[in-house]
Structure 1
Amino acid sequence: MPILLPGDCWFMSALSAITLNPGLLRRVVPDDQDFTRKYIGIFHFRFWQCGEWVDIVVDDQLPVSYDNQLCFSHSRSENEFWSALLEKAYAKLHGSYGALDAGKCYEATEDLSGGVTERFFFQKEEPPRNLFSIIAKAIQRGSLITCSVPGNIEEENESGLVAGHGYCVTGARQCKVNVPWKSHVDLVRLRNPWGDEVEWKGAWSDEAEEWRLVPEEYKKKMKLTAEADGEFWMTFREFLKNFEGVSITSLNPHSLNKEALLCMNDLAAVVNQIYLHQNNLSVTKRKVWEVVTYDGSWVRNSTAGGAPNNVSK
């Protein structure tokens, strides 16, 4: 799991989101390159720019601090460099590392997928009443979902969330609970790209007492863990309260290779979503947007706009 320094969490939260789709990740980070086979000291990565995949080539030199530590994103494993090299390629695409200081998560998810983003705000406007269902459907479609906590400076608060920090949404479930006054609770699973113990500490966090209300067999189906890995569950209500909004980048056929398309959904997860959202989700195993592309160019005095030559000023 990559680690980052303040300023580029928007990019790393997007990168964390595409790791959920191995096929899409391999589209961005081709797996036909390593440090052994015909190694010549360069790597190439792909980003979606202006309607097509663009190859960016970088060398293997990475900036380090005085104590020989990587200056920007890095992995907990000392032998893993793909995230740092990918960030270098992204910095080259935009002109410099400085250009990556502060940005929007959806900008990076679009560059890493070629998808189209829809944004929902929680603090500035009333979100749709069916937003939980929208997010569940988006997960079914393999969309990249990111969000952020309000604030200007990255600083952990009492709840365990980091102000001014980006996260990605990795799951949404109506979880069954063994209480007489309600049958289920809407939960969302989030991932902090830091990948460490900095996680949500409130209700339904990793070792919260609320999990005692959930049958053991159901917790196994949810693959519930209590590791310091940056991933946690929280209620959808707390999600709306603590985050400023959510961005859903929907994938399209032009941005996916065959492997990525086939890996978009796990059948068991889809069946579970259908069971829990019978009135909102269809039975289709896989869904993507349809895309129509028109190629053309701006031509002076024809399609570029402005006053025609025969019009007096």
Structure 2
Amino acid sequence: MPPKQPEIHRPSLRPRRYGILPEIPHCYLRRAVCRRYNSRKHCYLRCDAEGYINRRAYFLGKRSVCFCRTRRPSEATPACAKRVGDIFDKPQFFVHKDAHVMDTRQGAEGDCWFISSLGCLCVDVQFPKLIAKLCPPEARDEKVGVYGFVFFRDGEWISEIIDDKLYIRAPDYDDCDDERRAVWDRSHSRLDPAVLREEYRKTFQSNSDALFFGSCADPNETWVPLIEKAFAKAHGDFNAIDGGWPGEGIEDLTGGVTTEIVSADILDKDLLWNEGFLRVNKEFLFNSGTRQYGHADPNELGRQGIEDDHAYSLLRAVDYNGNRLCMVKNPWGETEWNGPWSDGSKEWTPEAMKALEHKFGNEGIFWMPYADFLRRYDQIWRTRLFTDDWNIAQHWTTIQVPWAGDYNDTKFEFDLPKPATAVIVLSQLDTRYFMGLTGQYTFQLSFRLHKSGEKQHIIRGYSSGDRSATTEVDLEAGTYEVLLQISGQRFDSLPKVEDVVKQNWLARREKLMSIGLSYDIANAKGQGVESEPEPEPEPTASVMTMTADAAPSAPSEPAVAVDASNVDATGAAGTTVGAAFTVDTEPDPASDEAPWDAVCVVGLKVFTPGMAAAIRVVKPTAAAPAVGKANLDVDDPEKDATEKVAK
């Protein structure tokens, strides 16, 4: 048996979906990096500098995992499910011929990160009808009750088909056994029984207010609950979309690339306003989030209407009479900012109301000053959208991740035939859609970009959420190397894949097969055969190329054998509540801890306008072994403090 690997207590600068985030030692708060907005490269960079307090590490170490505030926290489960025609009086997918930003309202699910992303897509400027493209008219039959949606996942568009059954909050009249039924019967005792039952249905089970999960503000509009259901089904069930990062939500809906901005680390706020915020809904989409504060404020008096640990949509940014103003949407569809420029505040005049096209009301949409926006929202996500003249090249492979956080021996290379602005994304698999079969390992990605043969890096890419690290840079023609740094953590409290299969193969067979199929398909991306290079596409065509590379070793957890013929594509997998697998997490006292065996499937995507990059994987072999390890960065927590820094 191999010797037991030493346990490394390494702080994580990114909160994980599972387990408890360890406290960050004070020494790591001093060895810090800062971010600055680079106008030439249009990206946020980290400056290699000692002496700055790492506000990002401190902030992330203290906050809760992801964004998961709910609108109705007291309701545990829905009462029943009914078809759209049985809920709505006059159901319409779009009431006003298209989605509107005032439509979205979050329900009892903790998916404010997703609903806020939907709100960002509703402001049609340079990219119109983004919501309609997810479910075009030819992909839905509202009379029959069948809808087809598309989402972006792991570098490609996937489709999902659903029926029109939606969960509602109140049970049927005959199933209602709480005090509500007794009160209703007493107050309507003089009515005919048939009329009494119909009035009960109209009061508790009709139109948008009856829905348990997300809904539209219009009582007869259906696009929000249906797209939320399709997104939940695409990822397994509603439990799978509870909590997340707002930027990743926009990526899943648009195929864009998100860069995370920490408000406390912005050095040039004027540049961010001019080069970023003023381009909202033109070149970028923005959403933001607040953290969980240490002091409880149940009446929200000190927060001025801004909720803790909650995601918001940034809809507009304007300069009005010397005031920098941001238009923001709370996905709840209610509860607004009550500071300067809030509804009814002294700053508003009839001229301002007309110029900004604003009306007072509690629909969750409000204006606030730019300075207050940066103070209230700790994290901002900027998602770049791509037009048809951008091309995407991508390549996936499987990496054996060491327990030490060194740069990996495997690296990516890509060729640019001419100078271009390149958006570079290093991604791992989106584990949300095979949640439960993720195993005990979690990973955080970063990378360095080098000109081929040069030791000094050009730029570094850092994580923007759980699954990707990104950067954007202007490059000359030539060959470039992407050095990978993948940090892995193992949580023994999480179940192993084989344990999940063993304990659910009989009781949850269909669910296990569905999620297992997703697991197999996802991990197969990194286990293919090297493909032949494809010819360069025409400059005006939008091209996506994807290749995969052979894995260096088999994954530590065996893939689940699945018979795809038994999986119903339109089944109830996406309409099941409380579908978490049953797993006994008690450790076996007689078993020894397994050796470190972390495997991560990663892909490199390079977006370039007017041409496609050629990507390949370079792995050490017996004939061409790796020549030494890439040096760790000067601000890396794992760097030996006694090592001299090369000048």
* TM-score band w.r.t. shorter chain: 0.7 to 0.9
- Is residue 105–residue 147 contact of structure 1 (8 Å, CA) maintained in 2? yes
Match of residue 308, structure 1, among 591, 598, 621: 621
Tell me which residue corresponds to 1:148: 289
Question: Which digits, 9 at most, give the CA deviation of each residue in 1:70-120, with x for residues without a partner?
Answer: 321122333222211111111111111101111000111001011111221
Tell me which residue corresponds to 2:311: 166
Match of residue 218, structure 2, among 61, 77, 87: 77
Residues in 2 aligned to 1:255 and 1:195: alpha-carbon distance in whole angstroms:
36
Tell me which residue corresponds to 1:103: 244
Change (3 A) 1:44 1:149: same
| Other structure's SS at 1:162 match | coil
Letter in 2 for 1:139: V
- Is residue 281–residue 315 contact of structure 2 (8 Å, CA) maintained in 1? no
Residues in 1 aligned to 2:249 and 2:318: alpha-carbon distance in whole angstroms:
26
Q: How large is the Cα RMSD of the aligned pairs? A: 2.9
Tell me which residue corresponds to 1:238: 372
- Is residue 160–residue 201 contact of structure 1 (8 Å, CA) maintained in 2? yes
How far the C-alpha of 1:245 sits from its partner, in A, is: 1.7
Match of residue 130, structure 2, among 15, 24, 32: 24
Structure 2: 5+ residue stretches without partners: 1-102, 172-204, 391-540, 553-615, 626-647
- Is residue 112–residue 311 contact of structure 2 (8 Å, CA) maintained in 1? yes
Tell me which residue corresponds to 1:15: 118
Determine if the alignment matches structure 1 residue 251 to structure 2 residue 385: yes
- Is residue 312–residue 328 contact of structure 2 (8 Å, CA) maintained in 1? yes
How far the C-alpha of 1:203 sits from its partner, in A, is: 0.7
Tell me which residue corresponds to 2:499: none
Give the 5 Å matches for 1:132-281. 132-139=273-280, 141-151=282-292, 157-158=300-301, 159-176=304-321, 184-196=322-334, 198-212=335-349, 216-253=350-387
Tell me which residue corresponds to 2:257: 116
Residues in 2 aligned to 1:193 and 1:30: alpha-carbon distance in whole angstroms:
24
Give the 5 Å matches for 1:48-67. 48-67=152-171
Change (3 A) 1:79 1:154: farther
- Larger-gyration structure (1/2): 2
- Is residue 8–residue 100 contact of structure 1 (8 Å, CA) maintained in 2? yes
Question: Which digits, 9 at most, give the CA deviation of each residue in 1:128-167, with x for residues without a partner?
Answer: 3321113334326242210012227996622111111111
Letter in 1 for 2:307: V
| Other structure's SS at 2:252 match | helix
Tell me which residue corresponds to 2:146: 42
Residues in 1 aligned to 2:156 and 2:389: alpha-carbon distance in whole angstroms:
8
Change (3 A) 1:148 1:296: same
Change (3 A) 1:35 1:154: farther
Q: Name the count of aligned residue pairs.
A: 263
Change (3 A) 1:23 1:255: farther
Letter in 2 for 1:209: K
Residues in 1 aligned to 2:389 and 2:333: alpha-carbon distance in whole angstroms:
27
Q: Which moved more, 1:125-134 or 1:89-98?
A: 125-134
Question: Which digits, 9 at most, give the CA deviation of each residue in 1:290-309, with x for residues without a partner?
Answer: 987543221467x7766536
Tell me which residue corresponds to 2:193: none
- Is residue 389–residue 542 contact of structure 2 (8 Å, CA) maintained in 1? no
Residues in 1 aligned to 2:147 and 2:225: alpha-carbon distance in whole angstroms:
12
How far the C-alpha of 1:226 sits from its partner, in A, is: 1.0
| Other structure's SS at 2:547 match | coil
Q: Which moved more, 1:152-161 or 1:134-143?
A: 152-161
Change (3 A) 1:186 1:156: farther
Residues in 1 aligned to 2:267 and 2:316: alpha-carbon distance in whole angstroms:
19
Give the fraction of aligned pairs with identical amino acids, expressed as a percent: 28
Residues in 2 aligned to 1:49 and 1:255: alpha-carbon distance in whole angstroms:
21
How far the C-alpha of 1:26 sits from its partner, in A, is: 1.0
Structure 1: 5+ residue stretches without partners: 177-183, 257-289
Q: Which moved more, 1:166-175 or 1:291-300?
A: 291-300
| Other structure's SS at 1:132 match | helix
| Other structure's SS at 2:129 match | helix
Question: Which digits, 9 at most, give the CA deviation of each residue in 1:249-278, with x for residues without a partner?
Answer: 11102599xxxxxxxxxxxxxxxxxxxxxx
- Is residue 333–residue 364 contact of structure 2 (8 Å, CA) maintained in 1? yes
Match of residue 2, structure 1, among 84, 101, 104: 104
Change (3 A) 1:140 1:107: closer
Change (3 A) 1:255 1:191: farther
Change (3 A) 1:222 1:255: farther
- Is residue 123–residue 281 contact of structure 2 (8 Å, CA) maintained in 1? no
Residues in 1 aligned to 2:386 and 2:298: alpha-carbon distance in whole angstroms:
36
| Other structure's SS at 2:244 match | coil
Residues in 2 aligned to 1:88 and 1:221: alpha-carbon distance in whole angstroms:
38
| Structure with the higher strand share, 1 or 2 | 2
Change (3 A) 1:168 1:255: farther
Change (3 A) 1:26 1:140: closer
Letter in 2 for 1:208: S
- Is residue 115–residue 255 contact of structure 1 (8 Å, CA) maintained in 2? no
Question: Which digits, 9 at most, give the CA deviation of each residue in 1:215-263, with x for residues without a partner?
Answer: x44541211211222111111111111111211111102599xxxxxxx
Change (3 A) 1:241 1:291: farther
